[in-house]
Structure 1
């Protein structure tokens, strides 16, 4: 059986699933999304992703399409139908279908909801982590509400393409003060020259990463020093280690920034340790 998608109450073959041409997510990017990592067919960091989904929808005045309990059941059924054990579950909720107009529909419409599931080759991702990845920097040009996980991702798309063209894995946005905000699809971290873990605080224009939050719990349990303090690309280039976090990348060592090696130019011991500890936590708490 091929891939299966869920669209507005129905499961359909992935290649035949579709949304209405006047869906506001398609027309206006009037939608939000969430991504869960899957370990052994279970949703990782489930609570955090549900909380962030509810917050993103609330910030845009879009109602939840169904209760959290019902949504959990639908997500799990989508995973089951796709027979994916290791992978990603993607959820998108738009304001719904209405004649195209920038303002909200005058008459209430039901939100649209799409779920897709894809497999991940864990052996390949572990090989990538063992080798480490490169990042490039790019000027911050996104809107001022990156705390909302909206589907309006064109700046992120262009940043990712810049990274790909440079042979890198990720791009880090740099604000007008010269500080790294976050990656195109991840949060950015370094282990500075004093051995302290540093990442941007969420009062800045960054997404409240769920993997980031869980990793902070791991860091606290390990008794490691952590500063939610900004850093520059030069700080990263002279750091002991660097890494990124996200549902897709988990905890992924960074070995170069704009072509300059970080540390010894290979994955650092702390990043690799935190990756292992995070995965252990994610597997143990997945639902």
Structure 2
């Protein structure tokens, strides 16, 4: 890892320090974004910056930088890292204040960003998932740094020998602990509609866009517990995991227990788009 960015300066990670009274530390008061870099180019940058702006507005924060300034900060981090494929993490907290709930006490945000080598993951053979009650807060469309519920849900999955937890509110699927959810039912790809119960995933939106462009039937619609259990295919999507087939749900096989044909097509389309020029 090269230098990181902290409040206007580039410096070694071990020299990056913040106050113990930073509201990100005392309240989890902040938002974040994760950007992927393929062949030294930041993937879907405009879409990530749009979501960052919405997340900041959702917690009553003004965006502290212009899009051009963000682009330069992120480009500098990419340039400082020799790896062709990278993961960029950007976090903005409300900044330092006495420990009081009033947001008016913080005057300057804390801005931190870093780049690391994008880890190689081979999930194309599929993963196992469990189902859990969605214990998170009601504003999941904000990409907030307060991730303890998701951490606990992912831990439950690990304890059960699975990789991800797929969440329900009542009888309705929301998303994964750290992913969006798709199913294939009777040849139609379905994913929950965007509202405050799910994060508007960049990969989720791109997968829908690409499938619709290729004429694959898609619907943004509510998915019940029974529809999930009887689906011929289940996928999860995220920026770092891309599109991953779920081949076992709550110890029972999904479909024939192998990645499905529609997933194969979706993955092929996605990889082709990812590797294409501007």
The TM-score normalised by the length of structure 1 is 0.92
Structure 2 gap segments, 5+ residues each: none
Partner residue in 1 for 2:64 = 65
Partner residue in 2 for 1:86 = 85
Cα distance, 1:146 vs. partner? Answer: 0.5
2:257 maps to which of 232, 250, 265:
265
Change (3 A) 1:46 1:283: farther
Cα distance, 1:285 vs. partner? Answer: 6.1
Partner residue in 2 for 1:141 = 135
**Matched residue SS, 2:274:** helix
Cα distance, 1:16 vs. partner? Answer: 3.0
The separation in 2 between residues aligned to 1:279 and 1:7, in whole angstroms, is 33
Q: What are the superposed Cα offsets for residues 137-195 of structure 1, whole Å, 9 maximum, x if unpaired?
A: 1111111111111111111000011111122111111112x111001111001101x11
The separation in 2 between residues aligned to 1:205 and 1:285, in whole angstroms, is 34
Change (3 A) 1:258 1:276: same
Cα distance, 1:204 vs. partner? Answer: 5.3
1:158 maps to which of 133, 152, 159:
152
Bigger shift: 146-155 or 274-283? Answer: 274-283
Partner residue in 2 for 1:48 = 47
Partner residue in 2 for 1:223 = 215
The TM-score normalised by the length of structure 2 is 0.95
Partner residue in 2 for 1:202 = 194
The separation in 2 between residues aligned to 1:234 and 1:119, in whole angstroms, is 40
**Matched residue SS, 2:72:** helix
The separation in 1 between residues aligned to 2:84 and 2:152, in whole angstroms, is 31
The separation in 2 between residues aligned to 1:250 and 1:54, in whole angstroms, is 23
Partner residue in 1 for 2:25 = 26
Query: Could you tell me whether the CA contact under 8 Å between 1:35 and 1:90 is conserved in 2?
Result: yes
Structure 1 gap segments, 5+ residues each: none
1:187 maps to which of 168, 175, 180:
180
The separation in 2 between residues aligned to 1:190 and 1:40, in whole angstroms, is 31
**Matched residue SS, 1:215:** helix
The separation in 2 between residues aligned to 1:259 and 1:204, in whole angstroms, is 30
**Matched residue SS, 2:104:** coil
The separation in 1 between residues aligned to 2:55 and 2:243, in whole angstroms, is 24
Partner residue in 1 for 2:12 = 13
Paired positions, count: 278
Change (3 A) 1:28 1:283: farther
Change (3 A) 1:45 1:55: same
